[in-house]
């Protein structure tokens, strides 16, 4: 189901709880809402649709990559960039990102995964994981 995007900075500043298999319905809503906003948005965290659970979804090519309880386990090649956010009004803000990251997460089937990402997808993943930690750009 497509959900409303949360803009409340106090809600968004709270750290999300780890997700369990009971939260699987949130994944469907997150993907539906990401698809409905794909013109303005390349990734979304569950708290942006009002669910304080550590789940993110990212547009990749023809589909969506879902990460449950994602953790960045290594990062390298920092750089400064500007980013916008669907939950925040106003101009894009400058922030520090890493060009290469390695992420541990559970996939949609709650199977453990470890994967390296670089460039644009790495940047989106960092933005969405920040959301899970209550961090806004």
Question: Which residues are part of the catalytic machinery?
Answer: 128
Instruction: Report the alpha-carbon distance of residue 53 to residue 95 in Å, rounded.
Output: 24
* Residue 85: CB minimum distance to Zn ion, A: 3
Task: Tell the residue number behind the tokens 């803000």, with chain if given.
Answer: 93
Q: What residues line the site for Zn ion (CB under 5 A)?
A: 85
H or E element, residue 129: helix 119-132
Closest CB to Zn ion among residues 58, 85 = 85
Closest CB to Zn ion among residues 95, 115 = 95
* Residue 43: CB minimum distance to Zn ion, A: 7
* Residue 21: CB minimum distance to Zn ion, A: 26
In the numeric block, which tokens belong to residue 94? 């400058």
DSSP SS3 for 109: coil
Task: Tell the residue number behind the tokens 């948005």, with chain if given.
Answer: 41
Closest CB to Zn ion among residues 36, 109 = 36
């Amino acid at each position: 189901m497509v959900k409303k995007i949360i803009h409340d900075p106090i809600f968004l500043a709270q750290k999300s709880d780890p997700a369990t298999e009971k939260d699987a319905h949130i994944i469907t809503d997150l993907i539906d809402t990401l698809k409905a906003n794909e013109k303005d948005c390349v990734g979304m965290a569950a708290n942006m649709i009002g669910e304080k659970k550590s789940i993110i979804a990212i547009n990749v090519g023809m589909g969506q990559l879902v990460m449950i309880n994602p953790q960045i386990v290594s990062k390298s090649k920092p750089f400064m960039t500007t980013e916008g956010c669907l939950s925040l009004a106003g101009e894009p803000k400058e922030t520090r990102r890493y060009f290469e990251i390695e992420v541990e997460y559970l996939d949609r089937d709650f199977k453990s995964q470890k994967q390296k990402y670089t460039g644009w997808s790495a940047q989106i993943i960092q933005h969405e994981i920040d959301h899970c930690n209550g961090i806004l750009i």
